[in-house]
Amino acid sequence: MAQMIVGGKAREAGSRARTEIRNPANGEVVDTVPRGDAPDADAAVEAAAAAFPAWARTAPHQRAALLQKGAALIGAHAAELATLLTREQGKPLRESSLEISRFSDILRYYAGLADKLRGEQVPLAERGKFGLVVRQPIGVCAAIVPWNYPVHLMGSKIAPALIAGNTVVVKPASTTPLTAIRCVELLNEAGLPPGVLNVVTGPGGTVGEALLTHPLVRKIAFTGETATGRHVMAVAAHEIKRVTLELGGSDAMIVCDDADLDAAAAATVINRFWNAGQTCIATKRLFVFDAVADEFLAKLVGRVERLKVGDGLAKDTRMGPLHTARQRDEVEAMVADAVARGAQVLTGGARPDDPACAQGHFYLPTVLERVDPQSRIAREECFGPALPVFRVADLDEAIARANDSPYGLGSSVWTADLARAQEAAARLEAGYTWVNAVQIDYDELPFGGYKQSGYGKERGTEALDYYTESKSIVMAT
């Protein structure tokens, strides 16, 4: 039975209550986890605060060596972790394997930066004095993680936090705590001192809220819905806690009339249907030039219809179930709303009739045309496998419609014309623009949304700015 990890030790919830974690593909109980409460979160914060002074003083190369050792242990357990991730989250095994290897990669990436975190010596006008700027860790960081990438998004928080000398309390999403707990166990086994990395489980409204309000938590790294992020920011404001917020998105993809349509169609399948569409940087609105729309849609629909839907543990599965029944019902409602407003279903638009899918939260990969721009699927974030396609006259119209959204996470453009690509990259209001490339994020590049898609950056060297305070020191000689 999975346990919380506080101060290096397994911990049951104070109330002894436990929550069942179910497999989205068939409803079976995978395991149970403690249903923690505010006192459990408080205990984890206190353990992290107690561990902070010694960890902050630990030499950077020693911190790096521990993360490297942890990455190697994760690698050695990759098959076990990937299977557990598929069973609790639903994604196909090959996606889970990739997520586990990306978790090791991000630990290694920040381990490599440990001894490169530099300050500055600054000349001052006054004689006999000189200035220094040094980087210091912030203190206890809370890492609040969603269910769509429970391991990689934990990694993008804990790796820069730990390497900069902070200690961390992780709060996984209520429905995906198991692989995260196992990863934290392995990192502790690699030698992290007790209390440096803790994990507490339980509902966001109690355990999460306790982390937001605890005075010893100095920084909150949150990934989740924009509505929750707004609340996190408001609560954090009370004690001016540092925050990074990675929130919702409604990424636009633009396919111009000079694009390689086969490559664009192949990319669209990954962009929209990877992780059953439950990716923050999924393509959620597609704008295609009128002149090539019919040809592009025929290629796209052909590819979408070849996606094998099923249990993520089956070798030939390319798209698993949605993570919860609520997610599936939400996508279904958005498609129904679009259809009621005149949208045409080019493929999908229903649950699969395969009896093997009857016990899971499955929905067919769906492409919609002639979608009313006022439909919910066009205005809100659709976190599932349904893609609305809009025909546009030219690049100006595509960019204007792409930007007509409260979100600004990612975007992509497909064209053979570099000038057009540059123009789109400059004008699209989003933290990432891919040109003729699949929407895959890189640990080496800063990641974070414009507008209501977030605040601050994760990944890249930039993330370290969000896990350190810069301190000015004046020395009189």
Piece in contact with ligand NAD (CB under 6 A), picked from 50-58, 244-252, 333-341, 421-429: 244-252
Encoded tokens for 460: 């890249």
Determine if 228 is a binding residue for ligand NAD (CB under 6 A).
Answer: yes
Judged by beta carbon, residue 278 or residue 366, the one nearer ligand NAD is 278
Residue 399 C-beta: closest distance to ligand NAD, Å: 21
**Cβ-based neighbours of 418, under 8 Å, separated by 6 or more:** none
Where is 366: in which H helix or E strand?
strand 366-369
Where is 126: in which H helix or E strand?
none
Determine if 247 is a binding residue for ligand NAD (CB under 6 A).
Answer: yes
- Please give the DSSP secondary-structure letter assigned to residue 206: I
Residue 274 C-beta: closest distance to ligand NAD, Å: 12
Judged by beta carbon, residue 95 or residue 246, the one nearer ligand NAD is 246
Catalytic residue among 141, 280, 357, 382: 280
Determine if 146 is a binding residue for ligand NAD (CB under 6 A).
Answer: yes
For ligand NAD, what does the binding mask look like between residues 276 and 305, x meaning CB under 6 A? ----x-------------------------
Please tell me the count of residues contacting ligand NAD according to CB under 6 A.
31
241 is catalytic: no
How far apart (Å, rounded) are the C-alpha atoms in residues 241 and 257?
48
For ligand NAD, what does the binding mask look like between residues 445 and 474, x meaning CB under 6 A? ----x---xx--------------------
Instruction: State the first-to-last Cα distance of the chain, in angstroms, to the nearest integer.
Output: 60
185 is catalytic: no
Determine if 312 is a binding residue for ligand NAD (CB under 6 A).
Answer: no
Residue 310 C-beta: closest distance to ligand NAD, Å: 23
**Cβ-based neighbours of 409, under 8 Å, separated by 6 or more:** 247, 248, 249, 250, 251, 280, 281, 430, 431, 432, 449, 450, 453, 454
Q: Which one of 231, 351, 370, 427 is in contact with ligand NAD (CB under 6 A)?
A: 231
Residue 49 C-beta: closest distance to ligand NAD, Å: 19
Judged by beta carbon, residue 37 or residue 246, the one nearer ligand NAD is 246
Encoded tokens for 299: 């290629």
381 is catalytic: no
Determine if 434 is a binding residue for ligand NAD (CB under 6 A).
Answer: no
Q: Is 257 helix (H, G, I), strand (E, B) or coil?
A: coil
How far apart (Å, rounded) are the C-alpha atoms in residues 244 and 222?
6
Residue 222 C-beta: closest distance to ligand NAD, Å: 6
Q: Is 198 helix (H, G, I), strand (E, B) or coil?
A: strand
458 is catalytic: yes
Residue 58 C-beta: closest distance to ligand NAD, Å: 29
> Taking Cα atoms as reference points, which of 371, 476, 469, 467 lies closest to residue 156?
467
Q: Which one of 74, 82, 114, 145 is in contact with ligand NAD (CB under 6 A)?
A: 145
> Taking Cα atoms as reference points, which of 381, 291, 310, 385 lies closest to residue 347?
385
Q: Which one of 24, 34, 165, 249 is in contact with ligand NAD (CB under 6 A)?
A: 249
Judged by beta carbon, residue 138 or residue 142, the one nearer ligand NAD is 142
- Pairing mode, if any, of strands 434-435 and 386-392? unpaired
Catalytic residue among 91, 99, 141, 157: 157
Piece in contact with ligand NAD (CB under 6 A), picked from 83-91, 131-139, 143-151, 349-357: 143-151
How far apart (Å, rounded) are the C-alpha atoms in residues 206 and 367?
39
> Taking Cα atoms as reference points, which of 93, 96, 55 lies closest to residue 74?
96
Beta carbons of 412 and 433 less than 8 angstroms apart: yes
Determine if 346 is a binding residue for ligand NAD (CB under 6 A).
Answer: no
| Strand-pair partners of 254 | 287, 413
Judged by beta carbon, residue 165 or residue 204, the one nearer ligand NAD is 204
Residues of this chain, 350-409, that bind ligand NAD according to CB under 6 A: 381, 383, 409
Beta carbons of 251 and 410 less than 8 angstroms apart: yes
**Cβ-based neighbours of 204, under 8 Å, separated by 6 or more:** 144, 171, 173, 174, 228
Residue 79 C-beta: closest distance to ligand NAD, Å: 25
| Strand-pair partners of 253 | 286, 412
How far apart (Å, rounded) are the C-alpha atoms in residues 59 and 64?
9
Judged by beta carbon, residue 165 or residue 229, the one nearer ligand NAD is 229
Catalytic residue among 246, 330, 369, 381: 246
Identity (one letter) of the amino acid at 399? I
Q: Which one of 3, 14, 216, 225 is in contact with ligand NAD (CB under 6 A)?
A: 225
Q: Is 476 helix (H, G, I), strand (E, B) or coil?
A: strand
Q: Which residues of this protein are in contact with ligand NAD, per CB under 6 A?
A: 144-149, 153, 171, 173-174, 204-205, 208-209, 212, 223-225, 228, 231, 246-249, 280, 381, 383, 409, 449, 453-454
Indicate which residues carry an active-site annotation.
157, 246, 280, 458
